[in-house]
Chain A
């Protein structure tokens, strides 16, 4: 019975809220700030953000074991094909700890966009990635426009609108 006494229940609740508040120390990137640069090995040589200057860049952090990531591949392929001429560059940064897992995944689900491998976790930490997948839309000026956590069918349209707006924006 002891454990359910009011006092102890209160302690449980207090502790619960402490945990909630305690864990909230994560640094998020804000819109308008400069997107952190990275230079990583990719399927076709080194991939770096700085070499894409002047393009609208969509950086997507994904992993082979993440279901919604797989769902987003078809959509990212479409976007890359559709807006390539207007200057869209999609970079899929893979975060698998074993790069072979990612390569196996890519053999089954080909990507029409640039893929980079990051098994150390440095880049996602710099970007403050909070879930899988997380994507960042970066303007032609190299500044962050928006970020998006997760991928659902319902997100397609909104994300495409954002990409379109970024491509049309004046420099």
Chain B
């Protein structure tokens, strides 16, 4: 049951994130307060070509791959 031990904290984290997302109304960031969040470096997209190359390298040199989430369309990484 080693896997349980490893994964439970992650599951708790999942619930935490969802909890924060659902009920943070009191402190919700307003549309006009998103100046910083609108900056490109605050998105999770990053530099798509850089990501494409590095993910490609890692997936061919390491057993694990994926995880960065659903992307738009194919990345051509096979």
Interface assignment of B7: CB less than 8 Å from any CB of chain A:
yes
Can you name 8 A-B pairs with beta carbons within 8 Å?
A2-B11, A3-B11, A15-B22, A23-B22, A63-B32, A97-B33, A129-B31, A130-B31
How would residues 22 to 50 of chain B score, 1 for a CB under 8 Å from any chain A CB and 0 otherwise? 11010010111111001100000000000
With A3-B10, A3-B14 as known contacts, state yes or no: A19 contacts B21, CB within 8 Å: yes
- Chain B CB within 8 A of A1 CB: yes
The answer to whether A15 touches B23 (Cβ under 8 A) is no
Which B residue's beta carbon lies closest to that of A130? B31
Q: With A and B bound together, what is the CA distance between A152 and B31 in angstroms?
A: 18
| In the complex, B15 has a CB within 8 A of chain A | yes
Chain A residues lying within 8 Å of B28, measured Cβ to Cβ, are: 23
**Docked complex Cα distance between A22 and B23 (Å):** 7
- Pair B4/A2 contact, Cβ less than 8 Å: yes
Chain A residue contacts of B3, Cβ below 8 A: 1-2
A16 at the interface (CB under 8 A from B): yes
A2-B7, A2-B8, A3-B11 known; A131+B22 contact, CB < 8 A: no
Chain B CB within 10 A, most for which of A3, A61, A95: A3
- Distance (Å) between the CB of B6 and the closest chain A CB? 9
- Interface of chain B, helix or strand or loop or mixed? helix
The answer to the question of A125 belonging to the interface, with a C-beta cut-off of 8 Å to chain B, is: yes
Picked from B23, B32, B39, the residue with its CB within 8 Å of the CB of A129 is B32
CB contacts (< 8 Å) of B8 on chain A: these are 2
Contact of A18 among B14, B22, B33, B38 (CB under 8 A): B22
Instruction: Say yes or no: A121 contacts B32, CB within 8 Å.
Output: yes
Q: Does B64 contact A (CB under 8 A)?
A: no
- The residue in chain B whose Cβ has the minimal distance to the Cβ of A119 is B32
Q: Tell which of A12, A65, A124 touches B35, judged by Cβ atoms closer than 8 Å.
A: A65
**A22, B52: Cα distance in complex, Å:** 36
Query: Given A23-B25, A65-B35, A97-B35, is A16 in contact with B18 using a C-beta cutoff of 8 Å?
Result: yes
